[in-house]
Chain A
């Protein structure tokens, strides 16, 4: 049952990111919701679930991506794992605490894509991609993570009984 719910959620997430998210975002840059979810799973439940969820999400993302097959799979697994490792060293798990680790994970993941998709390009184009794609996306990922983390804390995680 739980697996079916996760599968439906993943199908919905991928479809949403490929369709409606583009219409809701007029600036051309959108957050990578799969990365946000992989990181949040790592952040909240540990590095190994983060890596596994990231691997699965990345695989489906690879099926519908134009780049090298496997790139999303391993980068998402990596950032899910890293987010879990970050969380082990954080004392505060309030919604906003997810911002910095997820921005860092997004920058790392995007750097892999920057180097693979812009191979052979000049420094100017690399810098442009860094300033106008990588950094805005990292900030959007961090903001989306705060919202998603807040939703999880408010509605999905049971309040501790006093």
Chain B
């Protein structure tokens, strides 16, 4: 524990010295060749991501079960004033009801997701949230679908409630999506009532702001903001949230609107990844469209 510096002791010997040298070389390569090292690390990390996804999925299921158990526990607390015998019976029934309700809610949610997936003219892939951000510096979720399912970076992520975020990293079986409340995510938005467009971006405070609204815009509290479909990843008209406050920007050239996101990110379980913002079926070439049966004159 001597504070005196002795190189032989400080740098260790044999394997330790080689390890330190390798770390130093890796750091130099990382600093000097950022693009190549990113590519290399991404390639090395892919099988590792698939491996970690296995315990991650198990732990996510445990997490979901614990949350449901906790909700059941909260529900049971309200029965404490009833007599013991009845309480026991009610506890059993409540437990059963809660279990069934949780199942019903899951079924309802999945049915809504399925209906939304069918209704929308976009092509989507359903994915389950298996983890959350590993650091406080990014607001993201880990999804159980990856490159093997056709997921690529920059694809949009939505739910029937609205916009969730954007895919920023993929591996074979998993992908990472940054949420709209993260400052590194920007989505082209539009105020539904006035049709004015702006850039929707997260803030450090975990809020969502719509920037670059015209100074004379009549946008007001309660207005719905939807995607404009101008930037890739999202179809037009998916709800982002409702305006909660409008203020002038610091340079007085634009207005900025604060938005309450439509999606509750804390309770996100299933999402849809937008594989193609416009369905191939919806994009019939003009010459085909003119001769398509729907546009021909009906037979007499």
Contact = CB atoms under 8 A, between A and B. Distances in A.
A74 B30 contact: yes
A55 interface: yes
B66 to A, nearest CB: 7
B23 A133 contact: no
Majority secondary structure, A binding face: helix
Given A48-B19, A70-B38, A128-B205, A121 B137 contact: no
A28 B139 CA distance: 10
Contacts of A49: 16
Interface residues of B, number: 55
Contact of A52 (B10, B11, B23, B49): B23
B19 A14 contact: no
A78 to B, nearest CB: 9
A102 to B, nearest CB: 16
A7 to B, nearest CB: 9
Contacts of B48: 59-60, 63
Interface in B99-158: 130-138, 140, 142
Given A70-B41, A77-B23, A19 B59 contact: yes
A154 interface: no
Interface of A: 11-12, 14-20, 22-23, 28-30, 32, 34, 46-49, 51-52, 55, 59-70, 72-74, 77, 88-91, 110, 113-114, 117-118, 121, 125-126, 128-129, 132-133, 137
10 contacts: A11-B51, A18-B56, A32-B136, A65-B135, A66-B168, A67-B135, A88-B1, A113-B137, A129-B204, A132-B205
A66 B184 contact: yes
Given A20-B66, A63-B171, A128-B204, A113 B56 contact: no
B128 to A, nearest CB: 12
B1 A64 contact: no
Contact of B67 (A12, A16, A23, A77): A23
A125 B23 contact: no
Contacts of B215: none
Given A51-B23, A117-B137, 20 more contacts: A14-B55, A15-B58, A19-B56, A19-B60, A19-B63, A20-B62, A46-B12, A48-B20, A63-B45, A63-B48, A64-B134, A67-B137, A69-B42, A70-B30, A89-B1, A113-B135, A117-B184, A126-B204, A128-B205, A133-B137
Contacts of B131: 15, 18-19, 64
Contacts of B135: 32, 61, 65, 67, 72, 113
A61 B19 contact: no
A73 B1 CA distance: 27
B244 interface: no
Contacts of A121: 183, 204
Nearest to A128: B204
Q: List 4 A-B pairs, minimum CB-CB distance, nearest first.
A: A18-B131, A15-B59, A63-B45, A66-B138
B169 A66 contact: yes
Contacts of B276: none
B52 A64 contact: yes
A30 B56 contact: no
Contact of A48 (B16, B42, B62): B16
B20 A125 contact: no
* Residue from the set A30, A49, A117, A118 with the largest chain B CB neighbour count within 10 Å: A117
A14 to B, nearest CB: 6
Contact of B63 (A23, A62, A125): A23
